[in-house]
C-alpha cells in the first residue's frame, strides 16, 4: 500500500511540474547516445512505436487512411518537428563587420514559432521578437529567424526556448546585448486540461544593455509598431 501511495505522489509531482512549465536551464535534456542511431533507424523504430499506440487505441491500420500514418508521424518527428535536436542542423550564424556603424538596437519582430510542448507533445504556436545591439559585428536577418526555428524544433518549454535563442545569438555576435520575447499559445492548455483557448504565454530574456528598463521599453515599443507596406 505504501509503495502505491509513493507512486501516486510521484505522478502528482510530475503532473504539477508539467502544468507549471518549469524550465530553468538552457540545455535540452538529451542522453549521451542520442545520435548513435541514424535518422533512418530512428524512423523505423518510431514507426513501430506509433503503430503500437494506434493499435492499442483500437484503430484499424489496414484502412487506407491510416495505414501510412505510423511512417508519416515517424518521418515528421525525426526530420521536421524535432529536427532541431540534431546539432548538425543548427544554422551557421555568419557575422559581418558593422561597417554602417549602426549603434542602436536592431529588432526582428513577429518571427513565427512552431514548437512542441515536451510535457504532452502538443503544439506551441506563437511569435518571437529578437533584438541586439552590435558590438562591432552584425548577423544576417534571416539567420535570426533560422535560429528561432532551429531551437523551436525540439520538445520544448517556452522558458528554455527563449533563453536558448538569446544565448546562441550572444555567442555568435560576441555581445551580451541580446533580447528575446515570445508570445505563444500552448495547445496543452488551449485544447486539453482547462481548455482555455484565449490564454497565451509570454516569456522574455534580457541580456546586457537590455537589463535596463529603458531599453526594455524601447524594445517593446518597436514590437508594437504596425508594419505597413
Residue 9's pLDDT is what? Answer: 52
Is 98:168 a contact under the CB 8 Å cutoff?
A: no
pLDDT in tens, 55-91: 999 999 999 999 999 999 999 999 999 999 999 999 9
Q: Which residue segments constitute the domains of the chain, with CATH numbers given?
A: 2-88 (1.10.286.10), 92-224 (3.30.1130.10)
Rounded to whole angstroms, the Cα distance separating 104 from 70 reads 50
Q: Which residues are catalytic?
A: 117-120, 158, 186, 188
Residue 20's pLDDT is what? Answer: 54
pLDDT in tens, 9-20: 545 544 555 555
Rounded to whole angstroms, the Cα distance separating 223 from 207 reads 17
Of 143, 139, 215, which is closest to residue 181 (Cα–Cα)?
A: 215
- Rounded to a whole number of angstroms, the distance between the first and last alpha carbons of the chain is 67
Is 123:116 a contact under the CB 8 Å cutoff?
A: yes
Residue 223 has which C-alpha cell? Answer: 514590437
Kindly state the helix (H) or strand (E) to which residue 8 belongs, with its residue range: helix 2-19
Amino acid at each position: 500500500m505504501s509503495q502505491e501511495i509513493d507512486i501516486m505522489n510521484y505522478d502528482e509531482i510530475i503532473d504539477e511540474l508539467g502544468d507549471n512549465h518549469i524550465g530553468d536551464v538552457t540545455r535540452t535534456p538529451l542522453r549521451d547516445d542520442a545520435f548513435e542511431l541514424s535518422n533512418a533507424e530512428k524512423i523505423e523504430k518510431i514507426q513501430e512505436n506509433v503503430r503500437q499506440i494506434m493499435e492499442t487505441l483500437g484503430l484499424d491500420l489496414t484502412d487506407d487512411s491510416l495505414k501510412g500514418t505510423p511512417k508519416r508521424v515517424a518521418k515528421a518527428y525525426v526530420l521536421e518537428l524535432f529536427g532541431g535536436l540534431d546539432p548538425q542542423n543548427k544554422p551557421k550564424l555568419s557575422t559581418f563587420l558593422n561597417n554602417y556603424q549602426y549603434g542602436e538596437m536592431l529588432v526582428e519582430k513577429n518571427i513565427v514559432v512552431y514548437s512542441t510542448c515536451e510535457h504532452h507533445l502538443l503544439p506551441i504556436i506563437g511569435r518571437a521578437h529578437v533584438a541586439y545591439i552590435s558590438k562591432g559585428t552584425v548577423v544576417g536577418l534571416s539567420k535570426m529567424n533560422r535560429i528561432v526555428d532551429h531551437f523551436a524544433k525540439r520538445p520544448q518549454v517556452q522558458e528554455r526556448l527563449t533563453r536558448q535563442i538569446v544565448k546562441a545569438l550572444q555567442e555568435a555576435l560576441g555581445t551580451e546585448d541580446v533580447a528575446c520575447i515570445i508570445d505563444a499559445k500552448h495547445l496543452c492548455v488551449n485544447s486539453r486540461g482547462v481548455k482555455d483557448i484565449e490564454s497565451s504565454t509570454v516569456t522574455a530574456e534580457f541580456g546586457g544593455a537590455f537589463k535596463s528598463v529603458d531599453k526594455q521599453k524601447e524594445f517593446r515599443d518597436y514590437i508594437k509598431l504596425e508594419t505597413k507596406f
